[in-house]
């Protein structure tokens, strides 16, 4: 048996079990998805949104990339955000990072990871530069890295708030609320580290006045 056959076998087993537990489950989801949450998480295989929040298919709309970044030229993340906010009408957007993130760790080195990854990681290096004073004052390497994970999540929440997608939804419908969370690989627990309620004012330069 090939390694990927295990995935197909696992899928069969899961679908059967789900159907036995709740016979209407798949039929309900065929017709409607009404998730209240958009999750922007890391691609890391150890941080699957549904499992760590004990939720079912249909409950969370998910986007994942290396180090859970929200970049204002990334058509992918912005399309997901637009759809989640304007079509699915989610009430909450969660950016969830995790301690021990390989992307964060890589960004703190001076290694050349070649063009594409260098481009991506540059965004994390910028987060470090914005918060250099605080981060450089932390002498323990692990603690400094953990703090960068938290600050990165915070900056990505700001990046969400800077988009016209979020600002328009805040102005017109007073949603979604933005959350910055960090997941601990060691204990499986999520720690909320930053919140931004709908309507929060950010630096005036980022605020559109003709939405």
Query: Among residues 23, 21, 17, 59, which one has the least CA distance to residue 39?
Result: 59
**42 interacts with Zn ion by CB under 5 A:** yes
> Cα-flanking dihedrals φ and ψ of residue 67, to 5°?
65, 25
Query: Among residues 190, 178, 5, which one has the least CA distance to residue 95?
Result: 178
Residue 96 annotated in active site: no
Nearer to Zn ion, 36 or 118 (CB): 118
Nearer to Zn ion, 80 or 106 (CB): 106
Residue 101 annotated in active site: yes
**107 interacts with Zn ion by CB under 5 A:** no
Contacts of Zn ion in 55-94 (CB under 5 A):
none
* Piece of 37-45, 114-122, 130-138, 193-201 that binds Zn ion (CB under 5 A): 37-45
Q: How far is the CB of 170 from Zn ion (least distance, A)?
A: 28
Q: How far is the CB of 183 from Zn ion (least distance, A)?
A: 9
Q: Which of 101, 146, 175, 179 does the annotation list as catalytic?
A: 101
Contact by Cβ (8 Å): 181, 97: yes
**146 interacts with Zn ion by CB under 5 A:** no
Residue 201 annotated in active site: no
**44 interacts with Zn ion by CB under 5 A:** yes
Q: How far is the CB of 38 from Zn ion (least distance, A)?
A: 18
d(CA 85, CA 188): 28
Q: How far is the CB of 98 from Zn ion (least distance, A)?
A: 6
Nearer to Zn ion, 42 or 49 (CB): 42
Residue 146 annotated in active site: no
> Cα-flanking dihedrals φ and ψ of residue 42, to 5°?
-85, 150
Residues forming contacts to Zn ion in the complex (CB under 5 A) are 42, 44, 101
Active site residues: 42, 44, 46, 98, 101
């Amino acid at each position: 048996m090939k390694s990927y056959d295990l995935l197909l076998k696992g899928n069969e087993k899961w679908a059967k079990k789900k159907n036995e537990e709740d016979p209407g489950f798949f039929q309900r989801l065929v017709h409607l998805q009404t998730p209240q949450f958009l999750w922007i998480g890391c691609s890391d295989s150890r941080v699957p949104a549904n499992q760590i929040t004990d939720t079912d298919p249909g409950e969370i709309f998910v986007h994942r990339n290396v180090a859970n970044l929200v970049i204002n030229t990334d058509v992918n993340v912005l399309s997901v955000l637009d759809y989640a906010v304007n079509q699915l009408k989610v009430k909450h957007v969660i950016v969830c990072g995790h301690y021990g993130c390989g992307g964060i760790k890589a960004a703190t080195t001076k290694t050349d990871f070649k063009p594409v990854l260098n481009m991506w990681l540059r965004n994390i290096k910028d987060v470090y530069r914005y918060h250099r004073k605080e981060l450089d004052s932390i002498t323990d390497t692990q603690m400094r890295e953990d703090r960068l994970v938290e600050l990165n999540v915070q900056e990505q929440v700001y990046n969400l708030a800077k988009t016209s997608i979020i600002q328009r939804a805040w102005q017109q419908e007073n949603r979604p609320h933005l959350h910055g969370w960090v997941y601990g690989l060691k204990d499986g627990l999520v720690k909320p580290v930053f919140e931004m309620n709908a309507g929060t004012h950010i630096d005036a330069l980022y605020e559109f006045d003709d939405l």
